[in-house]
Amino acid sequence: MENSEIAARLALIEARLTALEGAEPSSADVTTGASAGVSTGTEDERFFALNGIRHTVDSGIVYAGHVELPTGAIWDWQWGPVPTAITLEADWSASVRALSALAHPVRLRLLREVLLGTRTATELGELDGLGTTGQLYHHLKQLVTADWLRSSSRGVYDVPGERVVPLLVILTASAR
């Protein structure tokens, strides 16, 4: 196992331990970018993720999450570190399809409902405010095409596990 993998796993374990201990984030943690759930300790402890990045790359991006959904599904996922230069030099237009699929309130609601356990097109169609059946299928198709949803069988949808944390990261970042 590489040092970067060990550092990332250690950071994940520390975050989970803090969450188990019931620490609540302070307003300073939110405004300074410290990780949620870590409100006490030294600056090194509060910025464990940043320190892990600094030890693996000169400049980079990492995102990770431990997500427990109301359905009982649990997702542990991380990506990175990706050197900043790679992201800055990438073709950002390649992200348009995935981002534009999220840029509609009905599609965001569909994703939330699926994460909360409403899985079939029939169940989704019974929810208020999602439009006609044709509109519902149009939105579902947009989300499937952009890989935010997949259809595991006819009319049954789920958010792929590898997309749960990235989706929540985008939503969390956009709320700032």
Higher pLDDT, 163 or 6: 163
Report the predicted TM-score, pTM, of the whole model to 2 decimal places.
0.71
Examine the fold and report which residue of 45, 70, 89 is the final residue of a domain before the chain moves on.
Answer: 89
Q: Residue type for 30, please? A: V
Q: How far is CA 81 from CA 78, 86, 131, in A?
A: 9, 11, 41
107 and 80 inside one domain: no
**29 and 80 assigned to the same domain:** yes
What are 73-93's pLDDT values in tens digits? 999 988 888 888 999 999 999
Range of the domain at 75: 3-89
Q: Judge if 76 and 129 occupy the same domain.
A: no
**Residues 49, 114: one domain?**
no
- Please tell me whether residues 54 and 98 are part of one structural domain: no
